[in-house]
Amino acid sequence: MAITQSQPAARTGLELKLAERTARVTIVGLGYVGLPLAVEVAKSGLTVTGLEVSAEKVAHVSSGKSDIDDINDSVLAPLVQSQKLSATLDASILKDADCVVICVPTPLSKTKDPDVTYIVNAVDALVPHLHMDMLVVLESTTYPGTTEELIRPKLEASGLTVGKDFYLAFSPERVDPGNVRFGIHNTPRIVGGTTPACTRVARAFYEIFLETVVPVSSTQAAETVKLLENTFRSVNIGLVNEVALMCDRLGLDVWEIIEAADSKPFGFMKFYPGPGLGGHCIPIDPHYWSWKLRSLNYYARFIELAGDINAHMPEYIVERVARVLNEDAKSLRGATMLVLGVAYKRDISDVRESPSLDVIHLLRQRGAAVSYVDPYIPDVTLEDGTEMRAIALTDPELKAADCVVILTDHTDFDYTHICATAQMVFDSRNATRDVPPGTGRVWKL
């Protein structure tokens, strides 16, 4: 009996368009995720339109100007000039799109519940323009089940059937601001479709401009992969932050302990303590998971514990600064504090969820006079609405401060000079590790 081999599925009209680079792409949201994606897609030869609700953002992109650290004007401008990339406020552009990628914010409410308002608004804007052979992909980080339970019903209410008439998938963004080694193109991408056909079409789209695409069994699996990645980091950072607290009690140098443990070539992965978690992903994503599990009557103990430890690090930093001031018989009330760095990580202009802002707020609550220096952040607004502007890092400012507090280890700072000039320095990032011993008075986390 002859064995009949299964034939590969015939390519859809959209797959043929993708292969010929004639498919039209609309990216909803041109923020930290959407704009880098739009640039990479346009560089591959596809024509991209960014759909935005911000007129300011549309004006920036239309003039070839980037407000995202990782996208240079020199890269964006030629794509705009060649009409490979454009931006608009007009949602009717969706009717002409073959591929729609949703890259909108997914914040948490004050009670740590997922706020999917931006996703719902984006899908509602898409529904009137959904058409045959369209691919819809959600990239916004969210809880498992969002694509299947929230987006699919809205789209199928149009009368079209997923997997047959149109294609729906989830592909979690993996943007790491400031990472010069891994960007959109060479970071492997997870793709999970609502049906096998959806996965196949979504994979064909991403393979045009990415080196590696990793398909998974479903949208729920893809959604959970992203949550695992960032929960892994949150839990391990929570662990090493608690180790820092324990080393403080034991009179040990946590940085020495970490580096010595890292000499083991197996079974250990290095994480560093700090003033808390920042950025849109790590402080937020684990809460999507724990929220979903609470609805299933399961309490995610590791996630909640790590979140609690990390959330209280700004308070610990303030207490340590108070102890440092006590060395000179000073109190926080009335002290002059100079904070170095308010971005959530080094060498970027992103303050989303930055623990530095929490530390400044707490220092001010305790009666300290606080100013800050950050070459990337000219002004910030604190939780209580207080607006602050960065000052220049000068010798008079360093000398006048009762304590200089390093909260973000920007490479622009001359730490040896800072330590030699300031009255005292508290370093929460081990930024002064290369400063010659005996230079100034330095305390570390």
Give per-residue pLDDT as tens, 349-393.
Answer: 999 889 999 999 999 999 999 999 999 999 999 989 999 999 999
Per-residue pLDDT, 11: 72
What is the C-alpha separation between 127 and 136, in angstroms, rounded?
11
CA dist 54 to 36, 93, 251, 352, 377, Å? 17, 16, 51, 18, 21
pLDDT for residue 347 is more than 80:
yes
Mean pLDDT of the chain: 93
Beta bridge partners of 442: 425
Dihedral sign (CA 357, 411, 368, 324)? positive
What is the C-alpha separation between 185 and 211, in angstroms, rounded?
6
- What is 159-206 written as a DSSP string? T--BTTTBEEEE------TT-SS--TTTS-EEEEESSHHHHHHHHHHH
pLDDT for residue 332 is more than 60:
yes
For residue 62, give the nearest of 83, 47, 43 by alpha carbon. 83
DSSP character for 266?
S
CA dist 33 to 36, 79, 145, 173, Å? 6, 17, 21, 7
For residue 110, give the nearest of 383, 385, 387 by alpha carbon. 383
The token pair at 269 is 């992965």
CB-based burial label for 109 (10 Å; 0-12, 13-18, 19+): exposed
Q: In 3-state terms, what secondary structure has residue 111? A: coil
Two domains, one topology: 13-222 and 275-444: yes
Kindly name the residue from 103, 198, 247, 281 that is annotated as catalytic: 281
pTM as predicted: 0.90
Q: What is the mean pLDDT of residues 163-175?
A: 95
Per-residue pLDDT, 8: 57
pLDDT for residue 7 is more than 60:
no
Query: What residue ranges do the domains of the chain occupy?
Result: 13-222, 275-444
103 in catalytic set: no
Task: Choose which CATH entry (3.40.50.450, 1.10.357.140, 3.30.1330.90, 3.40.50.720) describes domain 13-222.
Answer: 3.40.50.720
Per-residue pLDDT, 9: 64
Instruction: pLDDT band for 179, please (50, 70, 90 cuts).
Output: confident
DSSP character for 423?
S
Q: Which CATH architecture has domain 275-444?
A: 3-Layer(aba) Sandwich (3.40)
Whole-number percent of the chain with pLDDT over 90: 84
Q: What is the mean pLDDT of residues 96-115?
A: 88
Per-residue pLDDT, 2: 43
